[in-house]
Amino acid sequence: MKASDFETPTASFAPSALPYEEYMAPPARGGVIVVKDADLHLATAGDSVVLKKVSGTAVPNSNRFIATGGQLGWSIKGNPVTADLAGFDFDFTRPEFTAQPVTLTYPALLEAPVKGALSYKSQRRKAGAPDTGYPRFISLPTTPASRTWAKT
């Protein structure tokens, strides 16, 4: 597998049309691998992240990882940001995922955590760009303001 395998354009990040409080996992059929409180490293030649405290089920016959929760941390201008992910799933042959609902904690900007949706996609940083634009967080209509933050 080479880095260019992951550079196929995908649909832009858009959370569910209607916000939802619970995640509905796809079915897990056949043999599975169960992990509990593990760190998952998503890495390509262009970028990488570590999902911490992940619990879930890998379903090899469908190339899916079905998570019951996890945490993603990054920084924006040196300030820590943490996203607590409820259930989510992703194709483990592609370095990207979207999770909703997510609780974002960003003490440098927010007085309290905000619920929303988060998307991550491993991409090469463009020449001169400070970051790739991921991860992306969008607050849902149930929160006072809708803002998007990207990793720097």
pLDDT tens digits for 33-76?
999 999 999 888 888 899 999 999 999 999 999 999 999 999 88
Residue 1's pLDDT band (boundaries 50, 70, 90)? very low
- Please report the pLDDT score of residue 125 as a whole number: 77
> 4: which DSSP letter?
G
- Please report the pLDDT score of residue 143 as a whole number: 43
Torsion over CA: 38, 39, 45, 47 (sign): positive
At residue 96, does pLDDT exceed 80? yes
Sort 61 into a burial class: Cβ within 10 Å, 0-12 / 13-18 / 19+.
exposed
- Please report the pLDDT score of residue 106 as a whole number: 96
Is this model's pTM higher than 0.85 or not? Answer: no
d(C-alpha 123, C-alpha 48), whole Å:
9
Q: Say if CB 135 and CB 123 are below 8 A apart.
A: no
- Please report the pLDDT score of residue 43 as a whole number: 85
pLDDT in tens, 101-147: 999 999 999 999 999 999 999 887 788 877 788 899 999 875 445 45
